[in-house]
Amino acid sequence: MGTSGKERHGAKTGARSLTSAPMKTSPLPPVAVASRLRVVLVGTQHPGNIGAAARALKTMGLSRLVLVDPQQFPSDEAFRRAAGADDVLASAEVLATLAEAVADCHFVMGCTARSRRVALDELSPRAAAQQAVERGASGEVALVFGRERTGLTNEELQLCHVAVHIPANPEYSSLNLAAAVQVLAYEVRVAMLATDQLAPSSPFVEDASASHAQLEGMFAQLGQTLDQIDFHKGRAPDSAMRKLRRLFLRTGLSEQEVRLLRGILADAQRMARLAGGKTE
């Protein structure tokens, strides 16, 4: 997410609702939900922002911090700005790519300025927090923030299920990275506490939702299949694949559904090879 004038947060009032079906899960205590929620900072340029973000998480009962390709970490400045949240920094994972950071996640939310270049369902911080708590009852959830100046790239946003925008003052919407983390962490805290006060409505739990890595495997196979059946007819495949990704991400596929779809794709690939005169 960007935190300068170039990358600003602003939520759309009355944002489009997420179209996937609500999770049928029993409420979990805040500690259990928090253990499944990670905050991912991508390409952070200033170590002080990492420390301040760790402090923001700890004040709201969150502790899982993942750093993707930080420019400077570990850093004394990060620990100074953490102001006592040293344990959050000490346990932070450092990875090379966002794909690695969210590979086992079942729901990924990207905090970014509104952009027409990447069409994602848009959530306010409050709606995003509610989704995080609901999804966290059955799987891993990631809340992703981009670089201070340029935010998340289009390619990184493609790895997210939804976008999250903070409704900042449109006349001065520049928001510091740690401040943005604090806003989302607070909303998650409120949603967790509200959930903890609810009585379980049903013991039924849906099939486990597919992880990010499982979905990416399916998308890769889908792309290969479309090429093998000459679906694109010479046209660039990127546009069709972006639309198909959005379609499947909206549905909230389960692991079983991904296996079913991959079985169908495997049969389509086999038939394509037979039609082309190739043996298996």
- H/E stretch holding 57: helix 47-59
> Between these two residues, 226 and 174, which has the higher pLDDT value?
226
Go through the domains of the chain in sequence order and give each one's CATH number.
Answer: 30-196 (3.40.1280.10), 212-275 (1.10.8)
Measured CA to CA, the distance from residue 82 to residue 274 in angstroms comes to: 61
Q: At what angle do helices 212-228 and 255-275 cross, to 10 degrees?
A: 20
What is the distance of C-alpha 92 from the center of its chain? 17
The pLDDT assigned to 54 comes to: 97
What phi, psi does 20 have (nearest 5°)? -75, 155
Burial of 143 (0-12, 13-18, 19+ CB in 10 A): buried
**Helices assigned H by DSSP within 65-176:** 76-82, 86-90, 98-101, 125-136, 154-157
Query: CA 221, CA 234: separation in Å to the nearest integer?
Result: 19
pTM, to two decimals: 0.67
Residue 67 phi/psi, 5-degree rounding, is -110, 125
**Whether pLDDT at 32 is above 80:** no
80-99 pLDDT tens trace: 999 999 999 999 999 999 99
